[in-house]
């Protein structure tokens, strides 16, 4: 009875929605495990492409499409989450995709004939992860924990939650990636200690200082840079390679999306190899021409010194905010694929004066920690508690444009705080509440989150009215602001929707669209899968026809195979996956003799000249 209930209960998974790769993991009784996808790979590249027939492709297959058809592909979408067009001008110079005309508060990326917002693209990745989890676990997955960089602001966090909703997932918690990493390493087994988590991923850099005491993780401070990551190293090597090619060939390939993405793949391979080899060669072949560039680890390190150094400043600031020195830090954890670079590991060890943990795969550690957090929320894991912090201060604009901070950065969440303000003009009957996020003193220098009016205040001389403003941040870091006139009791409340987030109506419309087209999407996926199978058997049969095994068949057998191939090719272009599969089965049946002949031929070849 209890076993059946356990097997059938809905699973809660942990998701690392990464810039370069994404993963999904779950808590398997005693330990977290990353779930393997249908292609046998744990990592799902965070790449989405639109095929010529309109089919949506995600993951490894999309990464290949990125090379062949970069104009219909998007990667590193995490860099665009919760941000406006003005925020991403530098990134757009390096990306092959283009922004739709009229994109203002919400970015819309053009892929083929369609446009998508960053949350919609992320939702497609989340759906693939959900599908992988449901197939592997044999259970429905509708609830999850998603990790985000600790330095993600309110808009970026809200965009991540929107992506989960569009994908049909209830996001139980957004967890800071460094916090998840500490859980994955089981550092909660310590009685107490100070832990530094250094996270250098594809698109973002985070540093967090955590305090562990009596099973409770408390984030003392966070810092980082949402414009810094492994992508910056890739782009630097790519620019150098493009300049080399232009110099050697007299040809500028930067305008060719396919050439740039092919070269990008080759420089990334070289970069990854340099983590293990002292010297590697970038090998790029394009339209009959070959580019070769040898790079030593010494040269590579000289090229990226400034990028690595840019991570150390936030580390020092974070320690200062946390009130700790390097000598007081007990454990250092490395997260993110870029921490495999020996120079990065060395810099971290020198700064913190402690050898960092490298036992776990840095690509998987965040997903594993998310699974532990999912286990905590679902009741699978007991006696653990996480206390995250808000990465930036939250406040309101005062008269004169100055900011009054109500919840300060690095405050433990959930958090609640309030202050009482007054009017600045005689007879004032309403107050504009302007909510901002940031550390600057003037509102214009901080990020505007929301504006709303508290109306109906009794007209009184300036300075007499009492307006109570209260901020409440929930466990996901989402902000609610309430303003109340203490005299009349009139109140206005708002769940802060960030400037670059999606409205409820937009999110609901996307969810409804996914439901409305669910059957069509399913059928399209089935047809696409059948065509892949058809391509494989047609190619294998065509290859077999050029061997001696084909000659050994009777005329009747050869004719049956030819007829079956023709019927499959006719069915191939239909939209009926049942018809395609039926013709595949027929071709499988009539090629048995051909397969046997090929096997016999192979055995004879293997035994030739052998005496038993």
Where do the structural domains in the chain lie, given as residue ranges? 2-228+306-386, 230-304, 394-500, 518-607
Looking at 117-121, 299-303, 379-383, which range is the least confident one?
Answer: 379-383
Which range is most confident: 77-86, 178-187, 553-562?
A: 553-562
Residues paired with 279 in a beta bridge: 296
What confidence score (pLDDT) does residue 444 get? 77
Region 297-326: mean pLDDT is 94
Provide the mean pLDDT of the chain. 83
The separation between the first and the last C-alpha atoms of the chain, rounded to the nearest angstrom, is 59
Looking at 11-25, 413-427, 451-465, 487-501, which range is the least confident one?
Answer: 487-501
E-strand stretches of 486-571: 491-495
What confidence score (pLDDT) does residue 580 get? 92
Please state, in angstroms and rounded to a whole number, the distance separating the CA atoms of residues 431 and 429: 7
pLDDT tier, 507 (very low <50, low <70, confident <90, very high otherwise): low
Please state, in angstroms and rounded to a whole number, the distance separating the CA atoms of residues 579 and 94: 44
SS3 labels along 199-256: EECCCCEEEEEEEEECCEEEEEEEEEECCCCHHHHHHHHHHHHHHHHHHHHCCCCCCC
What confidence score (pLDDT) does residue 6 get? 36
What confidence score (pLDDT) does residue 217 get? 72
What confidence score (pLDDT) does residue 527 get? 79
Looking at 4-13, 32-41, 396-405, 558-567, which range is the least confident one?
Answer: 4-13
- Structure pTM? 0.66
216 vs 534, more confident: 534
What confidence score (pLDDT) does residue 522 get? 66
Looking at 185-199, 414-428, 570-584, 596-610, which range is the least confident one?
Answer: 596-610
What confidence score (pLDDT) does residue 398 get? 79
List b or e across 59-91, with b for residues whose CB sees 16 or more CB atoms inside 10 angstroms. Answer: bbebbbbbbebbebbbbbbbbbbbbebebbeeb
Tell me if the domain spanning 518-607 has CATH number 1.20.1270.10.
yes
What confidence score (pLDDT) does residue 283 get? 92
| CB neighbourhood size of 227 (10 A) | 16
Residue-wise pLDDT for 116-172, tens only, equals 999 999 999 999 999 999 999 988 899 999 999 877 877 888 899 999 999 999 998
pLDDT at 430 over 90: no
Q: State how far Cα 154 lies from the chain centre.
A: 17
Under CATH, what is the fold of the domain 230-304?
A: Actin; Chain A, domain 4 (3.90.640)
pLDDT at 89 over 80: no
Q: How many helices (H) and strands (E) does the chain have?
A: 17, 28
What confidence score (pLDDT) does residue 442 get? 75
Residue-wise pLDDT for 466-489, tens only, equals 888 888 877 666 678 888 887 777
Catalytic positions, written as ranges: 16, 78, 177, 199
DSSP 441: S
Task: Pull the structure tokens for residue 76.
Answer: 């590193």
Region 559-563: mean pLDDT is 92
Helix spans in 9-85 (H): 60-68
The string of DSSP letters for 111-162 reads ETTEEE-HHHHHHHHHHHHHHHHHHHHTS-EEEEEEEE-TT--HHHHHHHHH
Percent share of the chain, pLDDT over 70: 86
Query: What are the distances in angstroms from CA 295 to CA 244, 247, 273, 309?
Result: 13, 17, 11, 21
Query: What are the distances in angstroms from CA 145 to CA 151, 209, 477?
Result: 17, 21, 13
Tell me if the domain spanning 394-500 has CATH number 3.30.470.20.
no
Residue-wise pLDDT for 3-29, tens only, equals 223 344 568 999 999 988 999 999 887
β-pairing, 415-421 vs 467-473, is: antiparallel
As assigned by CATH, the class of the 2-228+306-386 domain is alpha beta
Please state, in angstroms and rounded to a whole number, the distance separating the CA atoms of residues 261 and 64: 10
């Amino acid at each position: 009875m209890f076993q059946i209930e356990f097997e059938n209960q809905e699973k809660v998974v942990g998701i690392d929605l990464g810039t370069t790769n994404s993963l999904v993991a779950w808590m398997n009784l005693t330990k977290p495990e990353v779930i393997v996808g249908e292609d046998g790979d744990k990592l799902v590249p965070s790449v989405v492409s639109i095929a010529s027939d309109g089919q949506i492709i995600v993951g490894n297959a999309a990464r290949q499409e990125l090379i062949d058809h970069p104009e219909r592909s998007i990667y590193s979408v995490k860099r665009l989450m919760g941000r406006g067009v003005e925020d991403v001008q530098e990134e757009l110079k390096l990306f092959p995709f283009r922004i739709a005309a009229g994109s203002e508060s919400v970015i819309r990326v053009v892929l083929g004939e369609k446009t998508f917002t960053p949350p919609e693209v992320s939702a497609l990745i989340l759906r693939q992860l959900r599908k992988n989890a449901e197939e592997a676990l044999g259970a429905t997955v509708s609830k999850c924990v998603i990790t985000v960089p600790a330095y993600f602001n309110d808009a970026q966090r809200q965009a991540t939650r929107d992506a989960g909703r569009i994908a049909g997932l209830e996001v139980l918690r957004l967890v800071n990636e460094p916090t998840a990493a500490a859980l994955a390493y089981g550092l909660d087994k310590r009685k107490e200690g100070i832990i530094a988590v250094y996270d250098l991923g594809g698109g973002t850099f985070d540093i967090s200082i955590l305090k562990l005491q009596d099973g409770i993780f408390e984030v003392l401070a966070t810092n980082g840079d949402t414009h810094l990551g492994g992508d910056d190293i890739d782009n630097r090597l790519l620019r150098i390679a493009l300049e080399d090619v232009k110099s050697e060939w007299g040809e500028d390939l930067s305008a060719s999306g396919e050439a740039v993405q092919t070269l990008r793949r080759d420089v990334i391979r070289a970069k990854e190899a340099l983590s293990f080899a002292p010297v590697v060669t970038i090998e790029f072949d394009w339209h009959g021409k070959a580019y070769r560039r040898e790079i030593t680890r010494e040269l590579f390190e000289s090229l990226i010194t400034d990028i690595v150094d840019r991570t150390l400043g936030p580390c020092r600031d974070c320690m200062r905010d946390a009130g700790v020195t390097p000598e007081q830090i007990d454990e250092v954890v490395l997260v993110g694929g870029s921490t495999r670079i020996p120079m990065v590991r060395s810099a971290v060890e020198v700064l913190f004066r402690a050898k960092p943990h490298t036992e776990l795969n840095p690509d998987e550690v965040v997903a594993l920690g998310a699974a532990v957090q999912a286990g905590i929320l679902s009741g699978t894991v007991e006696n653990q508690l996480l206390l995250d912090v808000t990465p930036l201060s939250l406040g309101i604009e005062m008269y004169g444009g100055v900011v009054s901070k109500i919840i300060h950065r690095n405050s433990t969440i959930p958090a609640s705080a309030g202050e009482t303000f007054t009017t600045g003009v005689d007879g004032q009957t309403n107050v504009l509440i302007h909510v901002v996020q940031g550390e600057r003193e003037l509102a214009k220098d901080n990020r505007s989150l929301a504006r709303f009016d508290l109306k109906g205040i009794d007209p009184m001389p300036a300075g007499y009215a009492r307006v109570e403003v209260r901020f409440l941040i929930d466990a996901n870091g989402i902000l609610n602001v309430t303003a109340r006139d203490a005299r009349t009791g009139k109140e206005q409340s708002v769940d802060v929707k960030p400037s670059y987030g999606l409205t409820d109506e937009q999110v609901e419309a996307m969810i409804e669209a996914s439901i409305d087209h669910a059957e069509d999407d399913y059928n399209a996926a089935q047809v696409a899968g059948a065509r892949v199978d058809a391509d494989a058997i047609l190619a294998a049969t065509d290859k077999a026809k050029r061997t001696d095994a084909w000659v050994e068949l009777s005329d009747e057998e050869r004719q049956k195979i030819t007829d079956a191939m023709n019927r499959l090719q006719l069915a191939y272009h239909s939209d009926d996956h049942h018809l395609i599969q039926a013709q595949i089965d027929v071709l499988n049946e009539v090629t048995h003799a051909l397969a046997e002949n090929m096997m016999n031929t192979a055995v004879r070849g293997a035994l030739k000249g052998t005496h038993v």
